[in-house]
Amino acid sequence: MVLQRWLRKEGYTDNLHEYSPQFHQCWNPDRILRHDGNDAHCSWNSSDKALPNLKFMRIAFLGDSRVRDIYSSLKSLLSGQPYERNSPHWDLEYRSGPPNNVILEFFWLPLPNENVTKLIRHWVSQRVSPTPATIVPNIIFYGTGAHFILASGHNGLRQFTVQLETLATQFKELSRVSHTVWIPILPILRTNPTPEKGSNQHRIDALAQRYGRRFVAVAKAHDLPLWDEAYRIAAARLEDFRDMRHLNVPLLQTLTCRLVNAINSNACQHG
């Protein structure tokens, strides 16, 4: 049995038992995720195992196209339908319907700006409710960086940090009504990937790595949960990128299985 750490957050305590009691009493982002190294048990062709463990959950993804790809991959797993590559720059939603009533949401927010702030303030202002109809998601995943790096380059790192610091404070407030998880800036390649395993390691863009380290530093400074395993998996499988920024379906499926297994483990739904 291989032990994998899914999230890292020191000193995490939970005082939100009034919100979705069963989930919050069990959730612990610092919990060790047990994983046997084989993602086949994720039952990719059947949602029978995945759906019951996510029952009545509302999961939101905020960010750019790479976050949207993870949303689409999870939608594929839960619906049992083939992965559909979405390219529109707008919000998306998937509802599994009865009896599981899982809701997935994607919010197109590629930059760390006032649009993210508006959504956070909207959620924070909502009355907390333990029912599936609550507006506030149970878990909120946030990832950004790629668009900012491409638009601002070396000169934008300071501004990126300032804007992230502002958002981190707001996400900390949001964590009182939901569980928030930041997704590290996944690798960006300097050239298109090649199929030979290991031949792409030197092609990770150095500037993207600088932005990525800053992203992680801000998250840790504000004690925000960070899905650090996502970066490690992606960086080890650069041959599974479909272009310089986006992941191919097999790599997305691996990340999705890890994500679902982590949620299942934390939700105390195993017998």
List of domains in the chain: 2-266 (3.40.50.1110)
Instruction: Calculate the alpha carbon distances from 265 to 1, 26, 28, 159, 262 in Å.
Output: 15, 9, 9, 37, 5
Q: Give the pLDDT score at 201.
A: 61
Q: Give the pLDDT score at 77.
A: 85
Q: Looking at residue 197, what DSSP letter applies?
A: T
Within 13 A of 172's CA, how many CA atoms are on the CB side? Answer: 15
Q: Give the pLDDT score at 11.
A: 28
Verdict on whether the full-model pTM lies above 0.95: no
Band (pLDDT 50/70/90 cuts) for residue 52 is low
The closest of 68, 61, 67, 70 to 137, measured between CA atoms, is 61
Q: Give the pLDDT score at 141.
A: 96
Q: Give the pLDDT score at 85.
A: 81
Band (pLDDT 50/70/90 cuts) for residue 125 is confident
Q: Where is pLDDT greater, at 224 or 15?
A: 224
What value does the mean pLDDT take over residues 129-147?
79
% of residues, the chain, pLDDT over 90 = 48
> Average per-residue pLDDT in the chain?
77
Q: Give the pLDDT score at 119.
A: 94
Q: Looking at residue 201, what DSSP letter applies?
A: G
Listed range (124-138, 156-170, 252-266) with the worst mean pLDDT: 124-138
Q: What's the chain's Rg over C-alpha atoms? A: 18
Distance CA 145, CA 151 (A): 10
Q: Where is pLDDT greater, at 122 or 53?
A: 122
Q: Give the pLDDT score at 265.
A: 64
Coil, strand or helix at 103? strand
pLDDT in tens, 67-118: 999 999 999 888 888 888 877 789 999 998 777 788 999 999 999 999 999 9
Q: Give the pLDDT score at 45.
A: 47
> Cα 203–205–210 angle (5° rounding)?
140
Q: By the 8 A CB rule, do 62 and 143 touch?
A: yes
pLDDT in tens, 176-227: 888 899 999 999 998 877 766 666 665 889 999 999 999 999 999 999 999 9
Q: Where is pLDDT greater, at 14 or 244?
A: 244
Q: Where is pLDDT greater, at 128 or 165?
A: 165
Distance CA 31, CA 8 (A): 9
Q: Give the pLDDT score at 48.
A: 52
**For residue 59, which phi and psi values (nearest 5 degrees)?**
-120, 125
Q: Which two tokens stand for residue 41?
A: 């048990």
